[in-house]
Amino acid sequence: MNKQAKKMFYTIGEVAEMFQVNTSLIRFWEKEFDVIRPQRNKKGNRLFTQKDVNHFHQIYRMVKEQGYTLQGAKEQLKSKPAESQESTLAIAESLRRIKVLLLELKELC
């Protein structure tokens, strides 16, 4: 997942690039998870908010990194309050950054 500056809306291509997945997976997750509600512009293109991107981070982590099924991820999203999920996401992101730094240090030694 690449870091990008926070902005008001992200296109489906930008979101797919953040997670290094195809846009078809982003569309699929949008249909499967009701917490993702992109707006649409006049052309009908999806515009995802930062909140949507945060939900994608949670879904990505559960499905791709932790091995949850789609149903399990849906249940997990429903069972935890949003604040708790955002806190967990922030901790996971911090741990990812620490891991990258440690791997860089290991290569230097």
The H-or-E segment that residue 61 falls in is none
SS3 48: strand
- pLDDT reported for residue 2: 47
Residue type, 100: V
- pLDDT reported for residue 53: 93
- pLDDT reported for residue 5: 58
- pLDDT reported for residue 93: 81
- The residues, ordered by sequence, that sit 6+ positions from 10 with a Cβ below 8 Å of its Cβ are 4, 18, 47, 48, 49, 50, 52, 53
Q: Which two tokens stand for residue 6?
A: 């926070």
Q: Give the residue carrying structure tokens 């009908």.
A: 44
pTM above 0.85, yes or no: no
- pLDDT reported for residue 86: 66
In CATH terms, the fold of domain 12-108 is Multidrug-efflux Transporter Regulator; Chain: A; Domain 2 (1.10.1660)
From first to last of its 109 residues, the chain has per-residue pLDDT tens of 545 557 899 999 999 999 999 999 999 999 999 999 999 999 999 999 999 998 999 999 999 999 999 999 999 888 865 555 567 767 878 888 899 999 999 888 8
Beta-strand runs (E) in the chain: 39-40, 46-47
